[in-house]
Amino acid sequence: MSESEPTTPKRSPRPVFIALAVLVPIVPILVALLMGGSGGSAAVLTNAVTVPAPKFAPAPSTATASASPAPRDTGVRLPPGHGALVALLRHPTALHAKPRGHVLATLGMKTQFGSPQAMWVVRHSGRWLGVVSSTAGNGHVGWIPASVVSLSRVNWELRVSLSARKLTVLDNGQVKQRYTVAIGAPDAPTPTGRFAVTDRLLTGDSAGPYGCCILALTAKAPHAIQDWSGGNRIAIHSTPETETIGEAVSHGCVRLTLAEGQWLINHIPLGTPTLISS
């Protein structure tokens, strides 16, 4: 090249690399916003956690709820609709005996079975939510700050009558299913009260003692339950022992058929109110 020929200055590649370095960490954020920005007040219906037999140690679920946290200075902005309020925990938090009261326990974002921590909200006071939780215990309400949750609504409800040995499933107040169930034996009665669904579990072994499917509840029995890693937690679960349906023979759990258990897994979301009466 002669000295008289004009030369074109070469552009430094550094600005391109800088731009890429800035954009790369932003991409996951944009993807997350696009995936999570659907809004609405959908129920907390996650994929059921698979429980590998025989240890019943479910793998964590990654599903989340589409809901609105939106606490305000004057209280909590509730999602529209008439279904039961469900709080999905977004950050670990303390569970209090009352608003700003003493701490009962620390709640993680996952249950002991690895499901998202979704709780039925039965009261609210200012920026505090009263929730049904297994940690608070049967018949008690625990309190958490509204700032750590997303709120949605669930239109489903489960009602168990121990005397009739029936489970009634309602959606928007309308009866969808009625099942005959087995209940706790006289020396291991099913507890009564106001509870909620905490986990939707698949055992992977339909021939096992819990059949294919388990809806774990916040309810607790006064005793540990045999072959169950949940300790004294009560559940609604399927059973291959269909001859026990309609009898008072369980360790406190509510039993139904395999097909009925599968139907519940397919329809009932986390946080669903479960009322057990005598």
Residues 171 and 136 in one domain: no
CA distance 278 to 1: 98
Asked if residue 38 is part of any domain, the answer here is no
Query: How many whole angstroms separate alpha carbon 102 and alpha carbon 114?
Result: 26
Whole-number Å distance between alpha carbons of 154 and 81: 9
Question: Per the domain annotation, does 196 fall within a domain?
Answer: yes
Question: pLDDT tens track of the chain, all 278 residues?
Answer: 433 333 444 444 444 444 444 444 444 333 333 333 333 334 555 567 665 443 333 433 333 333 344 334 446 888 999 999 999 999 999 999 999 999 999 999 999 999 999 999 999 999 999 999 999 999 999 999 999 999 999 999 999 999 999 999 999 999 999 999 999 999 999 999 999 999 999 999 999 999 999 999 999 988 777 777 778 899 999 999 999 999 999 999 999 999 999 999 999 999 999 999 99
Q: Is residue 28 part of a domain?
A: no
CATH number of the domain residue 101 falls in: 2.30.30.40
Instruction: Tell which phi-psi region holds residue 12, choosing left (phi > 0), alpha (psi between -120 and 50) or beta.
Output: beta
Report the CATH number that the domain containing residue 224 is assigned in CATH.
2.40.440.10
Q: What is the pTM of this model?
A: 0.77
- Residue range(s) defining the domain that contains residue 66: 62-71+83-154
